[in-house]
Structure 1
Amino acid sequence: MSKASSANGIVRPGERITYTVTLSNAGDVDAVGVSVSDTLPANTSGADFVVSSVTVTANSSLSFTYSVTALIPLTNGTPIVNRVAISGPTAARDIVTATAMVTDVVASSYALSLTKSVSPSVAAPGSLVTYTLAYTISGDEPAFGVTVSDTLPAGVVFVSASLTPTIQNGGGLFWLLGDVALSCDAPSRCVATDTISLVARLPLAPLTNGTVFANNAIITDSSGLSATSSATVTIASGHAFSISKAADQAAVTAGTRLTYTIAYTLTGDEAAQNVMIVDTLPSSVTFISAVPTPTAQSGQQLIWNLGTQLPITNYQLLITIIVPSATPTGTLLTNRVTITDSNGGVTGTASVSTPVIALADPFIGKFAGPDPLVAGETLTFTLAFTNAGPSDAQNVVIDDPLPSSVTYGWVVSANPNVLPSVSSNRLRFNIGTLAAGASGQIVFTATVNLDAGVAITNEATITTTTPDANP
């Protein structure tokens, strides 16, 4: 007896195997009442094959065929062993017995696939995001030692998962799934599929807009098969500046100092990079100092390079200037400040306008000599004057009405160089502008026509169109 398989030694799960059993009688007597018994092999479907009371004539052969189907899925390398036996008495003398066996080996395989997604894919710092790991095992054999792992990006914190990780090591999450059986919905199609969802929290602010958090998930088995998939979350963040500027006086006196206070706040959920404050002083003023010291100064522009600033940042600068003493009343000093950065923040501007008031404090003194004076002798008058400020005195006039007994002579010296206009024995010196802190002196002569013992009284006044600081 012999037996053959249509698989020729290799069979795929789900394939049909046809066995051929051949009975040969080499004797000179017919084999009568022979029974053939073939038991269904393990890992196959079908039925046992049994034939009874078969006669195989002398010097001839007889063949039988029957089929089974290999189960699916089956582990690669599984043997499918089929044995057949015959027995029965002969018509002449002997008991006929024989066996035959054929072995086919299963050739099977499977593939791993993994798809990772995240929702939302664009999120603000500190947001919760949900990663979904969808894996599929497809083929015609079970998978062994399956592990799904996901390593979260640095700073991303694991919160929860639909399937508790077998191992958690920092940001590394491992699901040891072990051996996974496949389910078949068609004669040659078997799959195992499942989904793991995990929730994680993105790093807290500040984070730069457009920052990408990418991570990979991987599915592996004990044989070294693997599949990977990745997902990315892009950070949507922003920032804005608010800035204000104030002066320490509602109105400033020409010739005095004025202090500006600049305050700004950075809000949002990302850092501002290369922050710069530019303050443009009024063209006429003089910069004295600032706290902190400006990084640079260009003309009337003061520049602070503040580098990277984090929200919430409250920052303050103090700027001190001096208003020129010659600045006229009613002048409006406008100061503007701007704050900018290099990564798209909403910039801020602010300005403050301060009116100027001019106040002067002129003073004059008058001296005469010699004293006593001889009748007919020349008398010398000295006018000494000054402006205590703080502003320049405009349109300064010195008025000196001489007594009728005194006759004006000439100007000996004058600083500034000025001559009087004389009308009815009244001297008028048009000084013009007398700067704050400046002083002058005029010396002139006169002749006195009085008897001895008569006192001479003379008074000079100084006036200005600039309001008096000390009226």
Structure 2
Amino acid sequence: MNPKVNIRNVAFTFIFISSLALVLFVLNADAECASPACCGVCENYINDSANISVNFPVLIVNKSVNPATFEQGELVEFKIEVLNIGNVSAYELSMKDILNEDLDYVQSKYDNSSSNYLIYKFVFNVTGNGEYSCQKSDGGWFSDSSQCVPKENIDFHYLSDTNELTWGKYGSSGGKELPPKVAYVIKFYARAKENASAGNLTNNVTIKANYDQHQYVCTAPASCQGGSCKGADGGSCPNNGLCYCDNCVSQPSGDCSDTSIKLSDHSDINLPPSITPNLNSSANFTILPKSEIYITKGINSTANKFTVGEIIPFVLNINSNLNETNATLTDVKVTDNLPYGIEFLNATLCNETNNALNSTTQPQLNQNSSDDPQASTILTFNIGNLTKDVSNIKICIYTKVASDASNAYGALKNDARVYASNNQTYETKNLSDAAEKYFYILKPASLKISKKTLTTNVVPNSIATYEITVWNEGDSEAVNITIFDPLPCNFTYINNSCNVTENNTDTNLTCPDENTTEPSFNISKIEGHSRIVFTFNVSVPNNVSGMCGNTIVAEAKDTSGNNLTVNYISQTSYIYTEHGFGYLQVNKEVINNKLFAVGEIVQYKIKVRNSGSVQSVNNVQLKDFLPMGMKFANISIQNCNVSNITGNYSTNGEILICNIGSVVPNETKIYYLNATVMDYKPVMVNKVEVNGSTSNGEQWFKDNIAVYVGKAKLKIEKKANKNNVKPGESIFYTLNISNEGDAPAYNISIKDVLPKGW
């Protein structure tokens, strides 16, 4: 007779069952379970276990996961229930749990334990009740689950190379005895990988155990490779009697039975119909994409440049992927940092927003307490929850450029962020996203006008020439510019004598179409950072002599029709008329450029002339007045050098005084001066005077000329090839750098600070 059969016949009688299902019935007792261990299978088998009296281990294993549907990156808890509802112990109990490749075992998650898992024990009482207890560090059991600290010598091992969890012989420690009418409940945490495959997946567990304390039982002396065989007294195997072999690598020699429990061993056991023994179980679960929230900010306009007082309609789009995850995001909040100079008007849900949003779900707006339109404004929208049904929201924010936005001209950046909480089963994840929008505030039009004489001395019944310069320092256009010029001394404007000598803007200049003593000139528009220079001729009457000066007046509007204030660089100009006596004149011009940058040198040419035909002008003195911010660099005047300079360029301006002697009739003396631009001012006017004496009295004359100082105005724009990315994806940025100023920029450096972790 087979020795295995002999041993078992001592304990029970065979009852053959034709077939056994290998799948554990689906049970749902967890809802009524009060213990943290909550062995659902145990709760269902409390009554049936009392009716099982066979002297053989009856093993059942069940694996479950909570929650059964979870997101990428989410923490979940697995539970393995191993039951022995037979009447004898199962020995060398061990198990292997092969984690799905999309999961990571989480170590040291339990706060009240130094271990990575918890072990509970459930004891089936004969009264039909069950009792839970928790293992302590000394190996004992205690009803207080808060003191669960599994004993190290039965540690639950994680094999990282195979992503397996093992206990008992599967791992590095010995097996465990599972007494009759007892269940072990093992709980541990795992986390879905951030890039886990979405879909329906399975996680398996397998257990092993023996129905005897020894690996093999033999009816005759035996031996095995790697192990040892002994008699019941621990000595050599007897010739007549049982021999026990353990730690064998292969089947021992002799007539021996393997004591490992197989499913077929239960085929001849009389069990209640509701009980199906098994040695493996699967936990089925579903992984969804992780919940994400996104924000973008735009302007509901084709323009990205705005003027003072203009409305800027911003749009905030808050989107999510909740239609894929079925989660609920709570505490959804949006902050919008309006920059300086942007005044908040109101905010509302855009018409395109989901109709499910009603008055009770309107975002609550909180605005900071500052009443200063120049201060930055922080808008906070408390949206509440986002769900699968309401997974996005659009907010329209209306602002305008403050009336006094002088500190905010140029490129501005508007930042917005969205925050949300994803309350998962075992932890809360904080989600956020950021967006930014660049736009440009145009500086209002700012006009400067100057008039000068190109013919500083004339004789009666001749032609004189004037020059007028109009410059717009602002970003915006100036329109309808009219310059009124009442001519002096009965001078008469000569029809069709207008001539545009410099023009870097789309300008339409209209000059008088008739001879007049009060000409007016109209410029339809001047674009920002542009200027126009034009000349015109006048006829000098026969009966005039001496100094003739006049003052121009101008008016202009911005594109909204508001009047602009006109600034005059030189509003009054002079022409001297004489009849042949000694007549001293001076003229100053720039010979190397008209537009300069700080640090560059301006080259001046000065002409001192006696336009008379009879007398010399004696004791002639030349005075050159540099504006503040310019400094003499080189002086080419005989007997005149830096010692003749007074004043300071940074406080009151430098003055050069040179004595140049006598100027004979019809003589012109030419001098050269260089000056360095030290500080930035849009327009710098240099004045020059000469005076001398003749027998008819003192002679004096003056002239001025303006130079224009440009300034670099850099604009940088950064664009990404996508607005929303997932971890591991690449973003390509494009930097566009432009100089909107009227001077070159040198030694440009760019610093780009990437977010943490990029």
TM-score, normalised to structure 2, is 0.26
User: Larger strand proportion, structure 1 or 2?
Assistant: 1
Taking CA–CA contacts closer than 8 Å with sequence separation of 6 or more, which of the two structures ends up with the larger relative contact order?
1
For the pair shown, which has the larger CA radius of gyration, 1 or 2?
Answer: 1
TM-score, normalised to structure 1, is 0.39
User: Larger helix proportion, structure 1 or 2?
Assistant: 2
